Amino acid sequence: MATLWQDLRYAARMLLKSRAFTLAAVASLAIGIGANTAVFSVANALLLRPLDAADSRGVVALHKRTSEGDGQAFAVSYPDYRFYREHSGEVFSGLLCWGEAALALSADGRAEQAFGMLVSANYFDVLALRPAAGRFFTPEEEATPGAHPVAVLGYGFWQSRFGGDASAVGRAVTINGRQFTVVGVAPREFKSTVPLYAPDVWLPVSMQREVVPGSDMLTSRGAAWLHMAGRVREGVTVEQAEARAGALALQLRADHPEDSVGAFGEPLKAELLGVRLAPVGSFPAETRQMIAGALGLVLAVVVVVLLIACANLSSLLLARAVARRREIAVRLALGASRRRIVRQLLTESVLLCVVSGAAGVMLSLWMTELLLSFLPDARLPLVLDFPLDWRVLAWTLALSFATGILFGLLPALQAARQDVVGALKDDPGGRGLGRSRARDLFVVGQVALSLVLLVS
């Protein structure tokens, strides 16, 4: 460790001494690492980030397994949801449901479009959330349809529409022509159980008829409009919960064969085989595959950009090794081993890449802001938030170390293999053809990768 610390201090002095080289290398690498960090932060937010809840462990969403594949979106009617909730208590400590709704909200004489969710009364309790203000729904507010016009505001909507005023709790608002009383505000970090979706207001599912006049989806078994999630009991495995939920799904299908046809009486193409559980707040498997495919293509493009930058770095390091050939020859003549020289040069390249990674992280913040600026200027219930959490930072750090080692190794080996006598005599022939060929190879590689990127 003492030798490593000595190498790091020497590497820092050498990089500060050659400011032009350091700036050129950092600028080149920061673009490649920053682009990779930006794309990975998007992938992390869409595919890897868990639900923002106080305790999301054991909370799973119910997706369906069919003859056409696993993990497809699973919608059920309200009577079916009640059947699942009443018969799955041995595997789920709580089972919630939700459905999206477009709303017209009016408060203080100003009307506007709002995006909402109709949820079961235990929605927030199963997710172990605590309100930012007021309270959440009670079981009594779901028991009688239309009897409890209450609402919970989303934190962002509470801030933008009511200025974060605590007096908003208890205030009356008009939603789709019906007066509701605000009873609470959702916590700041929580968006919803739907990926990227941040509703403005939550309403009890029992208020469905009042929100959508003329429709009755609370008693109709054929109206599949709700999605379900539940908290698996302690001591119960995911496989056991899947088996129980799948058995209930097959039982419902057998008891109500009329639900096995489409809206116009046509038979459904896919046969229901069971239920698949997935972390709540994640996309269904088929959607995840589509997102992963699109992000994989974009990631391949930015990896090519990084390879171009790495080829440029290797060329710079080879040229720098030529400029330092006399220094390296003196160290070898004084007794330094070639392995020690390689380790020192690798320490310099890794330190250079770590500095570039830090610059790339800052650059990625600007890149994501630039991408989001191309979105249409319209009010959407989407939260496109791509934070730099520990996964993104770990990815960037690993990428920086890998870049420094892989693309700094060849220049370090070339520098350590030089002819000591020729270098001390400053013989131009002592530089060798290998280094020149390597530089030419990296230049050719840069041009080839740039052409591939341009054509793509």
| Range among 83-87, 193-197, 255-259, 336-340 rated most confident | 83-87
Q: Among candidates 52, 210, 206, which has minimal Cα distance to 124?
A: 52
Residue 220 is which amino acid? S
pLDDT digits (tens, 9 = 90+) for 339-361: 989 999 999 999 999 999 999 99
Average pLDDT over residues 16-20: 91
Least confident range of 213-227, 284-298, 417-431 = 417-431
Whether residue 136 contacts residue 203, with contact meaning beta carbons closer than 8 Å, is answered with no
- CA distances (Å), origin 104, targets 111, 136, 167, 177, 381: 7, 22, 22, 8, 14
User: Residue 267: what pLDDT?
Assistant: 52
pLDDT value, residue 358: 95
Q: b vs e for 360-374, b when ≥16 Cβ sit within 10 Å of the residue's Cβ?
A: bbebbeebbeeeeee
| pLDDT score, position 255 | 86
Angle CA 435–436–440, to nearest 5: 115
For helices 390-416 and 285-323, the axis angle rounded to 10 degrees is: 30
Position 266 scores a pLDDT of 46
Q: What is the pLDDT of residue 433?
A: 39
Read off the pLDDT of residues 423-437 as tens digits, 9 standing for 90 and up. 777 655 544 434 467
Please list the alpha-helical segments (H only) found in 184-284: 208-211, 238-255
pLDDT of amino acid 432: 47
**Do 397 and 357 meet the contact criterion of CB atoms below 8 Å apart?**
yes
pLDDT (mean) for 102-113: 89
CB-based contact 453:308 (threshold 8 Å): yes
Output 285 or 10, whichever has higher pLDDT: 10
Q: Is the pLDDT of residue 319 over 90?
A: no
Given a cut of 50, whether residue 103 has pLDDT beyond it is: yes
Token pair for 417: 């293999």
Residue 439 in this model has a pLDDT that exceeds 50 = yes
pLDDT bucket at 263, cuts 50 / 70 / 90: very low
Q: What is the pLDDT of residue 259?
A: 63
Model pLDDT, residue 426? 65
Tell me the C-alpha distance between 240 and 100, whole Å.
29
- The confidence band for 268, taking pLDDT boundaries of 50, 70 and 90, is low
pLDDT confidence bin for 264, thresholds 50/70/90: very low
Distance CA 62, CA 22 (A): 53
Average pLDDT over residues 254-282: 71
At 26 the pLDDT is 94
Checking if the pLDDT of 149 tops 60, the result is yes
Q: What is the pLDDT of residue 270?
A: 67
Query: How does the average pLDDT of the chain come out, rounded?
Result: 87
Q: What is the pLDDT of residue 19?
A: 92
Kindly indicate the confidence band of residue 124, based on its pLDDT and cuts at 50, 70 and 90: very high
Percent of the chain past pLDDT 70, that is, above it, reads 94
pLDDT digits (tens, 9 = 90+) for 163-206: 999 999 999 999 999 999 999 999 998 999 998 889 999 999 99
- Residue 178 is predicted with a pLDDT of 92
Q: In this predicted structure, which of 109-118, 124-133, 253-262, 268-277 has the lowest mean pLDDT? A: 253-262
State the average pLDDT over residues 399-428.
82
Instruction: Return the closest-CA partner of residue 131 out of 186, 194, 198, 171.
Output: 186
